[in-house]
Structure 1
Amino acid sequence: MLTSVKNEKVKNWRKLKKKKERDLQDTFMIEGFHLIEEAHESNWEIIEIIYQTGVEVNADWFHYPSYEVSDNVMTALTDTKTPQGILAVVSKNKSSECSSQRALLVDRVQDPGNLGTMIRTADAAGFDTVILGKGTVDLFNDKVIRSTQGSMFHLHIYEADLMEEIDRLQQEGIIVWSTGLENATFYHELEVPNKLAIMVGNEGAGVDPALIQKATQNVKIPIYGQAESLNVSIAAAILMYEVAKK
């Protein structure tokens, strides 16, 4: 059992809280039984399991290298208020461009809760791909991971230059809708194409104007009250579920 936060193994795990280290090691950490089970069922590579003394590990996970740790070590490794006492180190999937029927493009979204919620919603709405543009919060941020509730393991998600991705998608016959207000059409007035990508943008600035120019169509959501705008994850959800109905 590992009992010291100064243990080299423990120090290495703690480093995974930082994006720089996650990128260097090509690994990240997940917490809780549900997320570990989702990773296990989705055939992501689980490198090792870390469990607190007294926590019962799922029998299906016994083939993974496992480490028992003391209460103080688990406290040092987790940021949640009510930890479940179990973590896993997972290898990053090397995802890249792929063919898609339904994609969500994310431009410079900063809030981890927003990104995680959009990934979870994309999964629920039957989307197959999420493309993260430069300046978007790290997919493997612990708050993003928790907000996805495991949906990150079900979808094809990768980082890319959205200018280049729009060109590629359009060459493949995929219509690209961008959210925005100028020269925009209400989404419910448009026919939903068979192959579609929806692009949403930064919480304060929206989608980059240069990206809007490249999109096939600019769309907007009607607002019936006095609110100036919608939260980006809510806007994405409305549009993705509208598409899911078709």
Structure 2
Amino acid sequence: MTRPPRDLYRRGADRPAAPRAAAPAPSTAPAREVTSLTNPVVKDLRALHLKKEREASGLFLAEGLKLVTDALDEGWPIRTLVHATRVKDQPLVVRAVAAAKARGALVLEVSDEVLVKICRRDNPQMVVAAFVQKIARLADLAAPSGVWVALEGVKDPGNLGTIIRTVDSVGAAGVILIGDTTDPFALEAVRATMGSLFHVPIAAATLEEFSAWTAAHRLPVWGTHLKGAVDYRSVAWPETCVVLMGNEQSGLPEAYVAVCDGLVKIPMAGKADSLNLAVATAVMLYEVRRRALGV
């Protein structure tokens, strides 16, 4: 599976990815105890619930020990780790704290009240961390292989997170976000991935960039469309291709249909005329990847 480069750029930026900065020096300082709701770091972490703050900082929040551990195990750059005082002696928390400190992250030990403030939830997770966003540009990817999922204008963060999780589950190559999409680093999207965000390559592109990239690599693009004349189960799916899915409201626009090599449809037997985007993507991916999965 082709993985995107580790160099990053912020979504929407019109510049090359900056060279990777030197890793922060390991921290030997003990965790800072914080009980004040007005602490500047607490305010900065809370602000990451806002898209404009995520875009400005290039950071995002991951809630829960599993997600934080997955990110650390995958080598994602971490800036701050926060944990509740009452879980500081749990072995997995101790391990996460050690890993964060080894990468130069700030570690805060806080009260439950502070976690409620950071997470904006009455029942917050006991571990929260701020990580650096990773999104590649198509131009930076090596010659693609495997099955990629391209999403046009997906709006619901829960749908996007679920799709990323499905891509991970079937062993697909990655996700391409085209046009104006929801933020994959919104907290709802991150939660819905259940940690798959840290395993699945994500790229962002305009329609023009996507069309040029698929043409340059001779990648067949199959779109899902209600007017598709071909049942998705009747296609001899190649090992390397792109499955292009439209948005939740209106499906694929005509400009996107024009870049497809073929259109397929998922038959409907009942009164419903369409499926939820995340469900439709899962149905498609398990069929496209059926041979590779040995089903």
TM-score range, shorter chain: over 0.9
3-state SS in 2 of match to 1:87? strand
In structure 2, which of residues 204, 208, 215 is the aligned counterpart of residue 159 of structure 1? Answer: 204
**Aligned-pair Cα RMSD in Å:** 1.5
Following superposition of structure 1 onto structure 2, how do residues 1-246 of structure 1 map, counting pairs within 5 Å? 1-56=33-88, 57-64=93-100, 65-80=106-121, 82-97=123-138, 98=141, 99-100=143-144, 101-246=146-291
Determine what percentage of the aligned residue pairs are the same residue. Answer: 34
8 Å CA contact 1:178, 1:215 repeated in 2 = yes
Tell whether the 8 Å contact from 2:116 to 2:123 is kept in structure 1 after alignment.
no
How far off its partner does 1:223 sit? 1.1
How far 1:19 sits from its partner (Å)?
Answer: 1.0
Contact 1:105 1:199 in 2 (8 A): yes
Measured in 1, the distance between the counterparts of 2:130 and 2:289 equals 34
Unaligned 5+ runs, structure 2: 1-32, 101-105
User: TM-score w.r.t. structure 2 length?
Assistant: 0.80
Q: Which runs of 5+ in 1 are unaligned?
A: none
| 1:9 Cα deviation after fit | 1.3
Shift of the 233–63 alpha-carbon distance from structure 1 to 2, 3 Å rule, reads closer
Displacement of 1:85: 1.4
Q: TM-score, normalised by structure 1?
A: 0.95
Q: Which moved more, 1:63-72 or 1:143-152?
A: 63-72
Q: Give the drift of 1:66.
A: 0.9
The AA in structure 2 aligned to 1:233 is A
Post-superposition offset of 1:183 = 4.4
**Aligned residue type for 2:134:** N
